[in-house]
């Protein structure tokens, strides 16, 4: 079955510092990949999704970016963090075709920008 690895689990970063969160998927190939953010007490906000290597769709304008350098690797980055970037970041994947029955989520990274 599919497993999503996210790291780190928690991160405290100063305002203006760069960010790189990595997500890797095991157990499948050619997945659709997603980055979500959840601010404290709020719902899940879709940030980016990718249907293949180098293909990124952005859902909301922001100072974050995403990249997919390999089939099962999805990276969320920022050049300069803002206080408003604090939140719980989740990576998810769905499968293609008849295997597309559910989304699988990682355990998340809790980012605090100070």
Residues binding another protein (CB under 8 A): 4, 32, 34, 36, 42-44, 46, 49, 51, 57, 59, 88, 90, 92, 94, 96-98, 100-108, 110
Token pair 């879709």 is at which residue? 46
Within 10 Å of residue 99's Cβ, how many Cβ atoms?
A: 11
Please give the structure tokens belonging to residue 55.
């293909």
Closest distance to another protein from the beta carbon of 82 (Å):
23
4's enclosing H/E stretch is strand 3-7
Nearer to another protein, 1 or 14 (CB): 1
Q: Report the distance separating Cα 2 and Cα 26, nearest Å.
A: 6
Q: Report the distance separating Cα 14 and Cα 18, nearest Å.
A: 9
Question: Pick from 70, 75, 72: which is nearest to 95 by CA?
Answer: 72
Nearer to another protein, 85 or 89 (CB): 89
Closest distance to another protein from the beta carbon of 43 (Å):
4
Nearer to another protein, 17 or 112 (CB): 112
Closest distance to another protein from the beta carbon of 91 (Å):
8
Nearer to another protein, 14 or 43 (CB): 43
């Amino acid at each position: 079955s599919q497993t999503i690895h996210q790291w780190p689990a928690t991160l405290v970063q100063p305002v203006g510092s760069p960010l790189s969160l990595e997500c890797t998927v095991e157990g499948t190939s050619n997945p659709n990949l997603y980055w979500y953010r959840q601010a404290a007490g709020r719902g899940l906000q879709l940030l980016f999704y990718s249907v293949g290597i180098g293909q990124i769709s952005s859902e909301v304008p922001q100072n974050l970016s995403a990249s997919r350098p390999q089939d099962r690797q999805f990276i969320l980055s920022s050049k300069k963090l803002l206080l408003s970037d604090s939140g719980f970041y989740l990576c998810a994947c769905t499968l293609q075709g008849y295997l597309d029955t559910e989304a699988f989520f990682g355990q998340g990274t809790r980012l605090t920008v100070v």
